[in-house]
Amino acid sequence: MDDATIAADLSPLALSILELLHERPMHPYELAATMRARHHDEFVRLNFGSLYHTVEVLERNGWVVPSEREKEGRRPERTVYRVSDAGRDVLQRAVSDILANPRREYLHFSAGLMFMHHLSAEAAVQRLEERSQALLKVITKLSQILDEVQASHTRLSVIELEHKIAVLKAERVWVDKIAKEIADGKLEWRAGSNAGDEMLRRNHGAGTH
């Protein structure tokens, strides 16, 4: 696997670690505390097990290196890490790839929409309305966080929060629209193949034998 592929495959947690160590050396506990303080846990799956494992992987690749060891009272010794030159380089390449190249993402909501026809139309409307209210709660929470952190951070520092709020708002508008179309009977509540789908299936089927 070449370096470009490795950079593209870095997890959001790995990127968060590299980004923070780019600022200054930290030990894993401090990394986790800083991520929570900056609300990185809204965007990465954060727990100590995955954090320590990811730090180990980054160290094994030479992207972070031990800088010193701290000892406080009776607490176990902590290793402070810093980002290496190679780590800075891979961080830049990974961020460049993420910004430039859309990725296929497998969302649970998409699966729910695919199989929504297994519910009655009334039940689907109810569930979509519940989702809309849940989205509103998340939007409200993130908007409050954004207002708080903007007082002490530049807009660029919290641009990911702004994006997530925009995406959630757009999804909520779409969910409300679909729920109304189902309730009004404008969305035909029948799943299956039409003539065009059947022709496509036959054409693809013929080419697979």
Query: What's the confidence (pLDDT) of residue 2?
Result: 52
Query: What's the confidence (pLDDT) of residue 125?
Result: 98
Both 150 and 171 in a single domain? yes
Q: Which of 48-57, 61-70, 71-80 ranks highest by mean pLDDT?
A: 48-57
Domain end call among 66, 100, 134: 100
Rounded percentage of the chain residues whose pLDDT exceeds 90? 66
Both 71 and 49 in a single domain? yes
Both 83 and 122 in a single domain? no
Closest C-alpha among 154, 152, 155 to residue 163: 155
Domain end call among 42, 75, 100: 100
- Taking 70 as the threshold, does the pLDDT of residue 202 lie above it? no
- Can you name the residues that pair with 79 across neighbouring β-strands? 69
CA separation for the pair 20, 34 (Å, rounded): 8
153-173 pLDDT, tens digit per residue, is 889 988 999 999 999 999 999
Domain end call among 82, 100, 118: 100
Tally of domains within the chain:
2
What residues contact 50, with CB distance under 8 A and at least 6 apart? 13
Both 164 and 184 in a single domain? yes
Both 196 and 116 in a single domain? yes
Both 183 and 95 in a single domain? no
CA angle centred on 61, ends 58 and 65, rounded to 5°: 60
pTM of the full predicted structure? 0.77
Both 60 and 78 in a single domain? yes
CA dihedral 139, 140, 142, 148 (to 10 degrees): 150
Look up residue 132 and give its amino acid. Answer: S
- Taking 50 as the threshold, does the pLDDT of residue 1 lie above it? no
What's the whole-number average pLDDT of the chain? 87
Are 171 and 135 contacting, i.e. CB atoms less than 8 angstroms apart?
yes
Rounded percentage of the chain residues whose pLDDT exceeds 70? 85
Domain that holds residue 166: 108-206
Both 70 and 128 in a single domain? no
- At 184, give phi and psi (nearest 5°): -85, -5
Query: What's the confidence (pLDDT) of residue 38?
Result: 87
In angstroms, what CA-CA distances link 141 with 47, 55, 132, 147? 21, 30, 14, 10
The residue with greater pLDDT, 111 or 73, is 111
